[in-house]
């Protein structure tokens, strides 16, 4: 795969993690593309490939003849939007898996998922399109994660957990077995989820309690 070119949408810290994992997997990262001008402090960070501004980054990628793209945007709704547009536009979203990630052969991992260093995905788990399983997080058996979910570093999901599209599970959180978290939810850092959460919930604490219930994206 040494000749395979990969463009990355995004140019923040998460994009650097994605790029490093991609290189370890044999990809050649050729550019980072952003659709907004970066603040001076962010644009000054050394990147392993050029950072290009374009109001239509996916169009720019297609025009450059690049077939593969990674959507390295932390915001779940934005990542979902870009990933869907990339697939609809004929671009490929490779699964990027760090060499230290442990992923069961029976797990299902959809296009554009990012499996970070030290994460564990157990048997019969399902990881949705453009979902992030971040550093040292674990997803136990039979879990089902929707599209563009973010399982933050050090988070642990027990068996048979369901998480809806675009939900964000904060760093160091735990979800007990057979719980269901709806779409567009945000679970605060270090929370322990022991009850189901409906779509649009904002919840945190031990045990996690709903603070606001609405349907806006996180």
**147, 163 in Cβ contact below 8 A?**
no
Q: What pLDDT, in 10s, does the model give residues 78-102?
A: 999 999 999 999 999 999 999 999 9
Residue 63 has pLDDT above 60, yes or no: yes
Residue 3 has pLDDT above 80, yes or no: no
Q: Give the pLDDT confidence score for residue 48 in this predicted structure.
A: 85
Q: Is the pTM of this model over 0.75?
A: yes
| Bridge partners, 138 (sequence order) | 120, 156
- Is 141 annotated in the active site? yes
Separation CA 101–CA 116 (nearest Å): 6
State the chain's mean pLDDT as an integer: 93
Q: Other C-beta atoms within 10 Å of 67: how many?
A: 14
**218, 197 in Cβ contact below 8 A?**
no
Separation CA 10–CA 30 (nearest Å): 13
Q: Give the pLDDT confidence score for residue 42 in this predicted structure.
A: 54
Binning pLDDT at 50, 70 and 90, where does residue 149 land? very high
In the set 14, 80, 98, 141, the catalytic residue is: 141
């Amino acid at each position: 795969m040494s000749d395979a070119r990969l463009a990355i949408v995004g140019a923040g810290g998460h994009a650097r993690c994605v790029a490093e994992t991609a290189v370890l997997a044999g990809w050649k990262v050729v550019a980072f593309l952003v659709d907004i001008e970066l603040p001076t402090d962010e644009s000054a960070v050394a990147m392993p490939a050029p950072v290009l501004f374009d109001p239509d980054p996916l169009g720019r990628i297609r025009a450059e003849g690049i077939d593969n793209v990674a959507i390295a945007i932390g915001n779940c709704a934005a990542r979902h939007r870009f990933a869907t547009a990339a697939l609809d536009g004929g671009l490929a979203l490779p699964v990027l898996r760090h060499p230290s990630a442990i992923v069961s052969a029976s797990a299902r991992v959809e296009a554009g998922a990012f499996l970070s260093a030290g994460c564990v995905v157990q048997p019969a788990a399902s990881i949705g399109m453009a979902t992030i399983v971040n550093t040292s997080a674990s997803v136990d058996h039979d879990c089902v994660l929707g599209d563009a979910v973010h399982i933050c570093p050090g988070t642990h999901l027990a068996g048979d957990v369901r998480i809806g599209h675009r939900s964000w599970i904060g760093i160091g959180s735990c979800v007990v077995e057979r719980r269901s978290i709806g779409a567009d939810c945000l679970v605060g850092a270090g929370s322990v989820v022991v009850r189901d959460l409906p779509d649009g919930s904002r919840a945190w604490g031990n045990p996690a309690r709903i603070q606001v219930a609405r349907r806006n994206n996180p």
